[in-house]
Structure 1
Amino acid sequence: MESSKSIPAPAPPRELSRLAALLRYEILDTPDESAFDDFTQLAAYICDTPIALISLVDDHRQWFKSRLGLDVNETPRELSFCTYTIEGQGLFEVEDAQRDARFRDNPLVTGDPNIRFYAGAPLTSPDGYNLGTLCVIDRQPRQLNEAQRGALTRLSRQIMRLFEERLQAHRYAEQAALQQALLNSAASAMLVTTADGHISGVNPTAERLFGYSEQMLIGQPLTSALFPQEALQRRATILGIELGEPIEPGFAVLTAPLFEGRRETREWRLLHRNGSGVPVLLNISAIHDERELLRGYIVSAYDLAHQEHLQLRLQQIAAQVPGLLFQFCWRPNGDSSFPYLSEGVEDIYGLSAAEIEPSIGPIYARVHPDDREHVLASIRHAASTLTPWYFEHRIDHPRKGLIWVEARATPMRQADGSVLWHGLVTDITERKAEQLELDKQQEMNRRLLEALSEAVVACDADCNLTLFNHTARRWHGLDAQQIAPEQWPGVYHLYHADGVTPMCPEEVPLLRALRGEHIRNLEMTIVLHGTPRYVLANADPMYASNGQQNGAVVVLHDITERKQIEILQRDFVSTVSHELRTPLTSITASLGLICGRVMGEVPEHLQELLDIAHQNSKRLSTLIDDLLDIDKLYAGKMRFELRAQPLQPLLEQALRSNQGYAESHAVSIELRDCPAVSITVDAMRLEQVLSNLLSNAAKYSPAGETVAMSARLVAPQRVRVSVCDKGPGITEAFRKRIFGKFAQADSSDTRKQGGTGLGLAISKELIEHMDGEIGFDSSPGAGACFWFELPCHALNKAAQ
Structure 2
Amino acid sequence: MNGSLQEPALRLDLESVPLEVLWNAPIGIALVDRGLQLVRFNRALAGLHGPRARLYPGIRLADVLPPGEATQDILWRMEQVLATGQPFSRIELEWGRVSCHPLHEGTRVVGLCLYLEEVPEPGLAREALQVSEERLRMSLASASIGTWDFNPATGEFLCDARALELFGAPPGFRMDCDTFHSIIHPEDRERTQQVIQRTVSPESGGSYDIEYRVIGIQNGVERWLSAQGRAWFDEHGGLVRFSGTVVDITQRKRTEASARFLSEASRLLAERLDRAEEILERVARLSASSICTYCIIGVTRPDGRLPRVAGAHREPSQEHFVREALRFVPRAPGTSPLLEGVHTGRSALIREFTQDVRQRYAVSPEHLALMNTLDAHSVMTVPMRAGGKVHGMMILAACAHQRRFDEEDLALAEELAHRVGMALENLRLYEEARQAVGLRDEFLSVASHELKTPLTSLKLQHALIGKSLTPECRASVGTRLPKAVSQVERLTSLVDSLLDVSRIGAGRLGLEPVEMELTQLLREVMERLSEVFAQAGCGVDFPDTPTVHGYWDPSRLDQVLVNLLSNAAKYGAGKPIHVRVKVVDGRALLSVEDEGIGIAPGDVPRLFSRFGRAVSERHYGGLGLGLFISKQIVEAMDGRIRVESQPARGSTFTVELPLRARG
TM-score bracket, shorter-length normalisation: 0.3 to 0.5
Between Structure 1 and Structure 2, the one with more helix by share is: 2
The structure having more radius of gyration, on CA atoms, is 2
Q: TM-score if structure 2 supplies the norm length?
A: 0.44
